[in-house]
Chains A and B, each alone.
Chain A
Amino acid sequence: MSTAPKTPSQAAGGRASTKKELPEHFKAYKHVWVFIEQERGVVHPVSWELMGAGRKLADKLKVDLAAVVIGPDGEATQHAAAESFCYGADLVYMVADNLLADYRNESYTKALTDVVNTYKPEILLLGATTLGRDLAGSVATTLLTGLTADCTELDVDADGSLAATRPTFGGSLLCTIYTLNYRPQMATVRPRVMPMPERVVRDTGRIVSHPLDLVEDDIVTKVLSFLPDRDSAKSNLAYADVVVAGGLGLGSPENFQLVRQLATVLGAEYGCSRPLVQKGWVTSDRQIGQTGKTIRPKLYIAAGISGAIQHRVGVEGADLIVAINTDKNAPIFEFAHVGIVTDAIRLLPALTAAFRARLSPHSRDRIAS
């Protein structure tokens, strides 16, 4: 336990270090890194989105962009490394060990912390997924550095500092955060916030392997089993091209079927606002917004959704937002592109029929017969 505490001598009043005074030992920290998240052999798309963002930062800083690939020793991990080059990596740091087959905080924290301490990146980016946040929090605390969570914008300042912008207070404000005097500067970014960069076929480049230096007995936590979300539709909301969503304005779980029906005709995913999850009408993996999924579809149709800021932050990346709401003053009309002031319960079936007729003329005959 702790020794006798020192009496605090001065108040932590002023912001002690808003000026950049990078300690000498941090000056060796160079380059931009992206943690490539893979679980059960599949790279999470957020990693490639981050490679796109990381490339821009690296180019501005005139440094290399490196991917950090951590996973079991085998084909999938090799493939993730090769893919990193196609998404702009100059080099790859790799920790491949069969103990890394499943994500576990202890082993992954050790792997990533070791690579950081050895090769010293200036900026380290991770996806704000369940894995990324679990890992980022542990790594940042181990390294005693700053971590800015859930960023929506990343840039570098004139003095080369990472300027990480994130929503705060449920998206009603944005703040730009710096980690001036500590390295690496760490940030997490939610899936679908950054655009997916183009994949360019390239040969594999330099891969730097790093050992894990652990045996199974060193890792206390054991994975007893894994239950995949079998309903494949479950995880697709964030990556859907078309999303139809309903809100409280629909009035009842029965009316929510109208949203599902339109989604089916459009080959779309369906989603909802938060109150519908709280009422138990729709499962939580369908919630869109600050505490739900961020979406980035080409077309988003919102029926009976008011457009509260917490909902707005999850849909703003959509190319085309269409709102159906009975209240012409609903906030959703402030950020929708196309709107219609009408009863969604009546319009949705008509819209479903009209889309069906327009998109696939034959289906009308099929249904008629």
Chain B
Amino acid sequence: MHIVVCIKQVPDSAQIRVHPVTNTIMRQGVPTIINPYDLFALEAALELRDKFGGEVTVLTMGPPSAEDSLRKALTFGADRAVLLTDRFFAGADTLATTYALATAIRKISTEFGPPDLVFTGKQTIDGDTAQVGPGIAKRLGLLQLTYVAKISALDLEARTIDAERRSEGGVQILRTRLPCLVTMLEATNQIRRGAMADALRAARAPIVKWSAQDAGVEDISKCGLRGSPTIVKRVFAPAARSEKAALIEVGEQPAEALIEAIFKRQPPLEAELATLARGY
């Protein structure tokens, strides 16, 4: 079995800067981590590999420094790492990102064997869109299972996968066919720490590095900023509220004073709360 896991290196902190001219985020100098949701995806993939055999390939698109995240993924036990890096990819929105990643997965498919499963995290913590997974699936013509909390069954003979998918108001249990793309929810499993042997191997392991051309990108205008239908026109800080909280004195009866302040500010609340409270 072959599983491809897409991961993204994301800034670890809120100290980010915005390029004054292009209005794009400047990531230089900000500490980075593997997007936390992608770690759940990686863990799920490694568990399946440990159970069913096969290989896990991690893939990321990013600057050359994204190699750090791939090495980290190797220490956790991934078998192979592919870095898709080229200045042509810079500034990609979700549509352009899915074009590049889907192209790279096709290339991985010819070089290392077609994947039975492609995993991603449910979303990234910097972009937050939750759209790259579905986009890759569409580009590759794969079936998709998003917001998966648990893979309950995998049948490599019948080529089926059963998964618990979080949906509004409940959990859907779905069965679909391989190959398929899965986006993983958080907190579904323990992230492994990685064995010493893996850490040693990872330090020396070669990382496959592909430019747009190496990966077989046919139309460079579909990549990066040029291939992005969305355009960021303005980046700005949220407006600060001018007034700070009115602080209640902590006197003899602080609870009563606080309630007084609440009802003074919003008189209708008292009657509404009385109604709500009656229900209890």
Chain A positions near chain B (C-beta within 8 angstroms): 1-3, 5-9, 11-13, 15-18, 37, 39-40, 42, 44, 102-106, 109, 128-131, 133-134, 136-138, 140-142, 144-150, 163, 167-182, 220-229, 235, 241-242, 264-268, 277, 284, 290-291, 298-299, 309, 319-323, 328, 332-342, 347, 350-351, 353-356, 358-360
Contact = CB atoms under 8 A, between A and B. Distances in A.
Contacts of A149: 94, 127-131
The listed residue with most A CB atoms (<10 A of its CB), out of B229, B238, B272, is: B229
A298 B130 contact: no
A175 B129 CA distance: 13
A347 B255 contact: yes
Given A141-B135, A298-B269, 17 more contacts: A2-B218, A9-B220, A18-B231, A44-B168, A131-B167, A173-B16, A182-B229, A224-B175, A226-B167, A242-B273, A267-B278, A291-B125, A320-B265, A320-B266, A333-B244, A353-B255, A359-B274
Contacts of A16: 221, 225-226
A309 B125 CA distance: 13
Nearest to A173: B235
B65 to A, nearest CB: 18
Contacts of B22: 15
Interface stretch (B73-81, B143-151, B197-205): B143-151
A40 to B, nearest CB: 7
A137 B133 contact: yes
Nearest to B276: A267
A322 B128 contact: no
Nearest to A187: B230
Nearest to A232: B169
A180 B228 CA distance: 11
B158 interface: no
B218 to A, nearest CB: 6
A174 B238 CA distance: 6
A134 B144 contact: yes
Given A181-B229, A339-B248, A351-B259, A141 B162 contact: no
A145 B229 contact: yes
B121 to A, nearest CB: 12
A22 B259 CA distance: 56
A223 B232 CA distance: 39
B174 A224 contact: yes
B262 A320 contact: yes
B115 interface: no
- Secondary structure of the B contact surface, majority rule: mixed
Contacts of A168: 25, 126-128, 235
A326 B127 CA distance: 34
B23 interface: yes
Contacts of A176: 232-236
A299 B266 contact: yes
Contact of B174 (A37, A222, A228, A333): A222
The listed residue with most B CB atoms (<10 A of its CB), out of A11, A106, A266, is: A11
Contacts of A128: 130
A146 B93 contact: yes
Contacts of B157: none
Contact of B230 (A2, A13, A141, A178): A178
18 contacts: A2-B216, A6-B219, A12-B87, A106-B143, A130-B165, A130-B167, A149-B127, A177-B233, A221-B175, A223-B172, A229-B169, A241-B276, A266-B276, A322-B258, A338-B246, A355-B277, A359-B274, A359-B277
B267 to A, nearest CB: 11
A339 B218 contact: no
Contacts of B18: 173
A9 B170 CA distance: 50
A170 B125 contact: yes
Contacts of B253: 354
Interface residues of B, number: 108
Nearest to B17: A173
Contact of A12 (B109, B169, B221, B270): B221
A291 B138 CA distance: 25
Nearest to A339: B245
A356 B233 CA distance: 51
Contacts of A180: 231
Contacts of B95: 140-141, 144-147
B120 to A, nearest CB: 11
B15 to A, nearest CB: 9
A103 B147 CA distance: 13
Contact of B262 (A146, A290, A299): A299
A227 B134 contact: no
Given A133-B146, A351-B255, A360-B277, A290 B245 contact: no
B259 A333 contact: no
Contacts of A228: 169-170
A225 B162 CA distance: 11
B130 A133 contact: yes
B38 to A, nearest CB: 14
A141 B137 CA distance: 9
A354 B256 contact: yes
A227 B170 contact: yes
Contacts of A335: 241, 245
Q: Which 6 A-B pairs have the closest CB atoms?
A: A137-B134, A267-B276, A146-B229, A339-B245, A137-B131, A149-B129
A339 B176 contact: no
A5 to B, nearest CB: 5
B83 to A, nearest CB: 18
Contacts of B218: 2-3, 5-6
A16 B144 CA distance: 32
B130 to A, nearest CB: 4
A226 B272 contact: no
Contacts of B270: 358-359
A226 B173 contact: yes
B20 interface: no
A321 to B, nearest CB: 8
